[in-house]
Amino acid sequence: MRMLINVAETVVADALRGMAAAHPELVVDVANRVIVRRDAPVAGKVALLSGGGSGHEPLHGGFVGPGMLDAACPGEVFTSPVPDQMVRAATAVDAGRGVLFVVKNYTGDVLNFRMAAELAEDEGVQVASVLVDDDVAVRDSTFTAGRRGTGATLFVEKIAGAAAEEGMPLERVEAVARKVVASSRSFGVALSACSTPAKGSPTFDLPPGELELGVGIHGEPGRERRAMMTSHEIADFAVDAILEDLRPRLPVLVLVNGMGATPLLELYGFSAEVHRVLDERGVTVARTLVGNYVTSLDMAGCSVTLCQVDEELLRLWDAPVATAGLRWGR
């Protein structure tokens, strides 16, 4: 097994210890699996909390900090965190103005965050939740009913995080987050399968010379398999799949996201093709972000996320952010 680990059972704990050593601006509770910004709770501010299975780094722990999340709860690899983690995090960051849960649409996450919201409210924490379901590739999949939550999670956490940083009330921060979800769509492509530490081998069979169009971030099946395509052809397919559903009338934010094992040389080349398709379809690009942000362990491949933005959403996107995984304007 060619992985930079000790044993599979301690992968998440080892990573959290390393994160704590590298980022003193965070409080990392390794035993309870909670990551909190060190200055939390921030007086007068709505708190944002998210989480999910590990293996998608920097999502979510890498997005804890000013301008994004106040806390994140990492589960085991590709496994939802448990309600106790979420309640512990919510009580740690609540400054009396409420907590917004950002939940990706996977069955375990949905059920556990729902239970955590009820438990947190029993402890006097006001909770609102927003469900991210941006993946247009398939309607239902192995892990979810309805569309999967993928790259738009970054847009939600950044834009709603900026709204909270400005002092907006919980109802308004929730409305901004829901607006981002409604305005965002994603499509992913796998060039290879990922390997979990526990399994130590590819989680699904993708023969050499083939790719999976519409893959999920856990390796869930997509729309179809084809013989390997060029970057030009993949961009046409992925962007057109998004535009069939989104039909933007406003400029868009573009996320060209690596799945974990695709180098930036290829991602920037693919970004050029995505821009070409959008220009040919008459879609104006407001901002572009390229890199590994919502990954799938060592999967080779990429995803595209588009979010149409008005002046308010663009202003919130441009607002300062200071996290391990995303940083500008500070």
| Residue 104 C-alpha from the chain's centroid | 8
Q: Are 91 and 123 in contact (CB under 8 A)?
A: yes
Helix 311-318 vs helix 170-182: crossing angle, to nearest 10: 100
DSSP state of 141: B
The whole-angstrom distance between residue 116's C-alpha and the CA centroid of its chain comes to 20
Cβ neighbors of 236 (< 8 A, separation 6 or more) are: 273, 277
284: exposed, middle or buried (Cβ count in 10 Å: 0-12, 13-18, 19+): exposed
Instruction: Please name the amino acid found at residue 26.
Output: L
Structure tokens at 248: 């933007």
Cα 101 from Cα 103, distance rounded (Å)? 6
Torsion of CA 86, 91, 96, 101, to 10 degrees: -10
Classified as helix, coil or strand, 14 is: helix
Q: Distance between CA 208 and CA 171 in Å, rounded?
A: 49
Closest of 54, 131, 55, 61 to residue 89, by C-alpha: 61
**SS3 state at 96:** coil
Residues annotated catalytic, as ranges: 56, 218
User: What is the residue type of 262?
Assistant: T
For tokens 């309870």, name the residue: 32
48 contacts 69 by C-beta, under 8 angstroms: yes
Closest-CA residue to 78 (of 204, 186, 197): 197
